[in-house]
DNA sequence: CCGTCCTGTTCCATGTTGTGGAACGCTGGT
DNA sequence: ACCAGCGTTCCACAACATGGAACAGGACGG
């Protein structure tokens, strides 16, 4: 009856249903009541009850103080052992590569760590002349499009004092940086033009996490001569990929496995 | 046959077995082959195969390039959404509170983040005179017992250049810091005495993660006058709690739920 | 204070669904 | 080409999960 996914193979509905329950709980990162889960699964109360009990026993689910279900100890054990960016990168990698193919330029993924901006993944340009790998290299946030994203979307506070000038184009006045951020938000993407290195341009957009907060920035960089006339195209391209990534972070569950 | 846990209730063996498979995979954070899992579970090949397929479908498991099983998308989704320290703190909180009750002093939990040491949780002293909340406050690592733990157990490299002197007691020579660390390792705990602030002492021990690496430091701080004669007692107390915490991190799976 | 409603758990007969042995593909080794 | 793992699919059997109904706790509300 009902509908669910109709994916079932044979001889596995118990496990399939159980997995669906766990998936429901993990997706909704808020605690879910028994009733919620019962409704969401469409199973009989008795079945739901037995399954939840089994899942709890197995450490996949857990009950909070109010008796609602949340992800169990296996999940936090996993989380405690693994770097969260590792997961982000994993989720994002395919997107980065597609963008790389579409634009032929270097693609970057950055996160805010404390009050700094750190690159966590990069796909290299196809051109000989391109941005080199700067994963884990410290670049002042106000000089790269990636960094500006965090300022523009207020994931990082704009520094108070005057900022270091790396080139004649670098924005050193915090007030101007704020204005720059406002424009970026309106446009949907942040840009940089020779503010880090003369001749180096970049475009970047925010990646929103499950709760709408900015968790990362996705960007492209390359020689100004190749980018300056394509900023809009690139920005839109990045935006669409970022949206998909956000959806992934929100929902996960790759529709199809590998080929 | 076999043995497993004999925990089963009724009408849930499929889910129980499936959960056991997931648990096995998550605990061994290395990829496990089909054969490993089949052996570990003691199930028939066919059953194992069907279950693994179902779990994979449900996003609880996933196959790496070599076809071995690793934790699935639900796990990394969870990890990507949750701060790993959140989990660490969650696991550690009860221990911190117990130590606080036993010693009446301020208790701290720190982790190494990049090359810095950050406090992630604290329980306040019961005395009026005590260490105030320094969660997220930057304290030079070489001046606190917490920080010294990371140097001593080589979770962080000892800086090369001379170190900032905050008081007349501060160790500024890296070589001396290394020697200090060696003593700490032999003893089992690191101490600081007026090296951060005159009159402020601290004791701290490492918390080992699943693979034996130092993931955090657990420490006590307070006025030297109250601590100096109890260093050994405090160090031993901390050690025993840290060991328990390590076990938690290694195994997880709280034997009993709540009361 | 007792009834009522809503929670979730336990019981039980039913037959659907999971089970494991064996047969079957696949891949890689020699 | 043949053989030796390795994993999936097939199949008849019955064990196990299933869901309706009865049951046990609370939480309200009159």
State yes or no: pLDDT of B81 exceeds 60.
yes
pLDDT at B140: 84
d(CA A142, CA A148): 6
Average pLDDT over residues B143-154: 92
As given in the structure block, the two tokens for residue A138 are 């410290």
State yes or no: pLDDT of A234 exceeds 90.
yes
- Upper half-sphere CA count for residue A67 (Cβ side, 13 Å): 5
Are residue B148 and residue B58 in the same domain, yes or no?
A: no
Average pLDDT over residues A37-45: 89
End-to-end Cα distance, chain B: 32
Q: Does the nearest atom of strand C lie within 7 Å of B67's Cβ?
A: no
State yes or no: pLDDT of B152 exceeds 80.
yes
Residues of A in contact with B27 (CB under 8 A): 77
State yes or no: pLDDT of B245 exceeds 80.
yes
Kindly state whether residue A220 falls inside one of the protein's structural domains. yes
Share of chain A above pLDDT 90, in %: 34
Total domains, chain B: 2
Cβ atoms within 10 A of the Cβ of A41, count?
A: 19
Identify the residues numbered 25 to 44 in chain A whose C-beta atom is closer than 7 Å to any atom of strand C.
33-35, 38
B113 band by pLDDT with thresholds 50, 70 and 90: low
Q: What is the CATH number of the domain that holds B229?
A: 3.30.450.40
Axis-axis angle for helices B13-27, A13-27 (nearest 10): 50
Are residue B152 and residue B34 in the same domain, yes or no?
A: no
Cα A42 to chain centroid distance, Å, stands at 32
pLDDT tens digit sequence for A122-150: 888 777 666 666 665 667 889 999 999 99
B156 band by pLDDT with thresholds 50, 70 and 90: confident
User: From residue B113, how far is each of A113, B85, B155, B246 by CA, in Å?
Assistant: 9, 11, 10, 19
Average pLDDT over residues A155-181: 89
Are residue B50 and residue B97 in the same domain, yes or no?
A: no
Residue nearest to nucleotide D15 (CA to C1'): B11
Q: Which of A44, A62, A81 is the last residue of a domain?
A: A81
What ipTM, to 2 d.p.?
A: 0.71
Are residue B98 and residue B57 in the same domain, yes or no?
A: no
Are the Cβ atoms of A58 and B20 closer than 8 angstroms? yes
pLDDT tens digit sequence for B191-234: 999 898 898 999 999 998 766 778 889 999 989 999 989 999 99
Residues of B in contact with A113 (CB under 8 A): 113-114
State yes or no: pLDDT of B184 exceeds 90.
yes
Are the Cβ atoms of B76 and A59 closer than 8 angstroms? no
pLDDT at A215: 85
Q: Is the dihedral of CA A177, A183, A185, A188 positive or negative?
A: negative
* Distance measured from the CA of protein residue A66 to the C1' of nucleotide D30, in angstroms: 28
Q: What is the CATH number of the domain that holds B65?
A: 1.10.10.10
pLDDT at B125: 75
Tracing tokens 């006025």 back to the chain, one arrives at B223
Kindly state whether residue A239 falls inside one of the protein's structural domains. yes
Are residue B136 and residue B198 in the same domain, yes or no?
A: yes
Angle made by CA atoms B197, B202, B206, in degrees to the nearest 5? 135
Kindly state whether residue A46 falls inside one of the protein's structural domains. yes
Q: How many CB pairs under 8 A join A and B?
A: 172
pLDDT at B129: 64
State yes or no: pLDDT of A4 exceeds 80.
no
Provide the shortest C-alpha distance from residue A227 to chain B (in Å): 32
Q: Does the nearest atom of strand C lie within 7 Å of A13's Cβ?
A: yes
Which of A138, A203, A215 minimizes the C-alpha distance to B83?
Answer: A215
Average pLDDT over residues B148-162: 88
Are the Cβ atoms of A22 and B80 closer than 8 angstroms? no
**Over chain B, what is the mean pLDDT?**
83
pLDDT at B233: 93
Angle made by CA atoms A32, A35, A41, in degrees to the nearest 5? 85
* Distance measured from the CA of protein residue B195 to the C1' of nucleotide D13, in angstroms: 75
Buried b (16+ CB within 10 A) or exposed e, B143-168: bbbbbbbbbbbebbebeeeebeebee
User: From residue A187, how far is each of A156, A216, A241, B9, B70 by CA, in Å?
Assistant: 19, 18, 16, 59, 41
A155 band by pLDDT with thresholds 50, 70 and 90: confident
A255 band by pLDDT with thresholds 50, 70 and 90: very low
Average pLDDT over residues B245-252: 71
As given in the structure block, the two tokens for residue B44 are 């028939």
Are the Cβ atoms of B12 and A51 closer than 8 angstroms? yes
Are residue A106 and residue A70 in the same domain, yes or no?
A: no
Q: Which of A206-220, B132-146, B160-174 has the lowest mean pLDDT?
A: B132-146
Kindly state whether residue B259 falls inside one of the protein's structural domains. no
Q: Which of A113-127, A181-195, B19-33 has the highest mean pLDDT?
A: A181-195
Kindly state whether residue A123 falls inside one of the protein's structural domains. yes
Q: Would you call A116 exposed, middle or buried from its count of C-beta atoms within 10 A (0-12, 13-18, 19+)? A: middle
Are residue A37 and residue A160 in the same domain, yes or no?
A: no
Q: Which of B63, B81, B99 is the last residue of a domain?
A: B81
Kindly state whether residue A202 falls inside one of the protein's structural domains. yes
pLDDT at A94: 87
pLDDT at A257: 29
Are the Cβ atoms of B79 and A79 closer than 8 angstroms? yes
Are residue A22 and residue A115 in the same domain, yes or no?
A: no
State yes or no: pLDDT of B257 exceeds 70.
no
Q: Would you call B108 exposed, middle or buried from its count of C-beta atoms within 10 A (0-12, 13-18, 19+)? A: buried
**Over chain A, what is the mean pLDDT?**
83
pLDDT tens digit sequence for B6-65: 445 677 889 999 999 999 998 887 889 999 899 988 888 889 998 998 998 898 998 887
The range of the structural domain enclosing residue B101 comes to 84-251
Q: Is A252's Cβ below 8 Å from some Cβ in B?
A: yes
Average pLDDT over residues A44-66: 88
Are the Cβ atoms of B23 and A54 closer than 8 angstroms? no
Provide the shortest C-alpha distance from residue A135 to chain B (in Å): 14
Average pLDDT over residues B124-141: 70
Angle made by CA atoms A66, A70, A75, in degrees to the nearest 5? 145
d(CA A111, CA A155): 10
Are residue A147 and residue A38 in the same domain, yes or no?
A: no
Q: Is B87's Cβ below 8 Å from some Cβ in A?
A: yes
Are residue A74 and residue A133 in the same domain, yes or no?
A: no
Provide CB contacts within 8 A for B89, sequence distance 6+. Answer: B109, B120, B121
Residue of chain A minimizing CA distance to B72: A253
B2 band by pLDDT with thresholds 50, 70 and 90: very low
**Residue B107, beta-bridge partner list:** B123, B220
State yes or no: pLDDT of A252 exceeds 50.
no
Are the Cβ atoms of A54 and B7 closer than 8 angstroms? no
Kindly state whether residue A6 falls inside one of the protein's structural domains. no
Q: Which of B81, B102, B137 is the last residue of a domain?
A: B81
Strand D bases near protein CB (under 7 Å) are 6-11, 16-22
Higher pLDDT, B137 or A109: A109
Residue of chain B minimizing CA distance to A254: B73
pLDDT at A171: 94
Are the Cβ atoms of B74 and A7 closer than 8 angstroms? no
Q: Is A70's Cβ below 8 Å from some Cβ in B?
A: no
Nearest Cβ partner for B76 among A71, A74, A90: A90
Q: Is B155 helix (H, G, I), strand (E, B) or coil?
A: coil
State yes or no: pLDDT of A61 exceeds 60.
yes
Kindly state whether residue B60 falls inside one of the protein's structural domains. yes
Are residue A47 and residue A117 in the same domain, yes or no?
A: no
End-to-end Cα distance, chain A: 30
Are residue B31 and residue B125 in the same domain, yes or no?
A: no
d(CA B210, CA B154): 17
């Amino acid at each position: 009856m009902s509908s669910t996914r109709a994916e079932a193979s044979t001889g596995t509905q118990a496990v399939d249903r159980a997995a669906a329950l766990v998936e429901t709980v993990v997706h909704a990162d808020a605690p879910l009541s028994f009733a919620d889960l019962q409704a969401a699964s469409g199973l009989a109360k008795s079945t739901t009850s037995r399954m939840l009990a089994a899942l709890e026993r197995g450490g996949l689910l857990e009950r909070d103080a109010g008796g609602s279900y949340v992800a169990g100890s296996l999940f936090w054990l996993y989380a405690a052992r693994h770097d969260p960016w590792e997961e982000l990168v994993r989720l994002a990698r395919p997107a980065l590569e597609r963008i790389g193919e579409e634009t032929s330029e270097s693609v970057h993924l950055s996160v805010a760590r404390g009050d700094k901006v750190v690159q966590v993944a990069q796909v290299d340009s196809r051109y000989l002349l391109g941005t080199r790998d700067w994963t884990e290299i410290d670049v002042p946030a106000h000089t790269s499009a990636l960094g500006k994203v965090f300022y523009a979307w207020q994931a990082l506070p704009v520094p108070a004092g005057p900022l270091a000038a790396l080139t004649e184009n670098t924005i050193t006045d915090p007030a101007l940086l704020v204005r720059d951020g406002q424009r970026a938000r309106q446009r949907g993407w942040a840009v940089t033009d020779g503010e880090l290195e003369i001749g180096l341009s970049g475009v970047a957009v925010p990646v929103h996490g499950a709760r709408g907060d900015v968790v990362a920035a996705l960007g492209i960089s390359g020689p100004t001569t190749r980018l300056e006339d394509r900023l809009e195209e690139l920005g839109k391209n990045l935006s669409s990929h970022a949206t998909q990534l956000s959806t992934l972070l929100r929902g996960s569950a790759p529709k199809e496995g590998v080929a």
